[in-house]
Amino acid sequence: MYIVHVHVHVKPNLIDSFIAATRENAGKSTGEPGIARFDVIQQADDPTRFVLLEVYLSPEDAGLHKETEHYNHWRDIAEPMMTEPRTRVVYKNIFPGDIGYSSQLGD
C-alpha cells in the first residue's frame, strides 16, 4: 500500500466550499481502480484544517490519480481556498494488513 496524508489549511470563509469540492473529488476518487481508500477529515479544534487520507494500491496509482479530470478540477478550485500550500506525508502500512483496506484486495 502507498498511503498519503495531505494536510490542508483552508481560509475560514471558504470552509463549506472546500468541503463541497473535496467531497466531490473524494467520491469520484473512490471509483478509481487503484484507490483502496480516500478519507477526508476535519480537525475538531480548528475547522480550517483538514487531512486527506489517501490509500493507493501502489505509488503508480497515486500518479494516475493526479492525471484524472476530477483531481485536476479539484486542484484548480481548491488551491485558491488554501491559506498556504498543502503538504503531504507518505506512510507505509503496518497494521491492519493491506487486505483490510479494500474489497478490491479480497476482504
| Full DSSP string of 40-63 | EEE-TT-TTEEEEEEEESSHHHHH
Q: Any idea which residue has 476482504 for its cell?
A: 107
Cell of 73: 478540477
> CA-to-CA distance for 91 and 44, rounded, in angstroms?
23
CATH C-level class of 2-91: alpha beta
Q: What is the pLDDT of residues 9-46, one digit of tens each?
A: 999 999 999 999 999 999 999 999 999 999 999 999 99
pLDDT of residue 107: 44
Find the Cα–Cα–Cα–Cα dihedral 101, 7, 40, 34, rounded to 10°.
-40
Q: What is the pLDDT of residues 73-107, one digit of tens each?
A: 999 999 999 999 999 999 998 887 777 665 555 44
Helix (H, G, I), strand (E, B) or coil at 97: coil
Q: What is the pLDDT of residues 49-72, one digit of tens each?
A: 999 999 999 999 999 999 999 999
Cell of 79: 488551491
Q: Any idea which residue has 476518487 for its cell?
A: 29
Cell of 40: 477526508
pLDDT of residue 101: 66
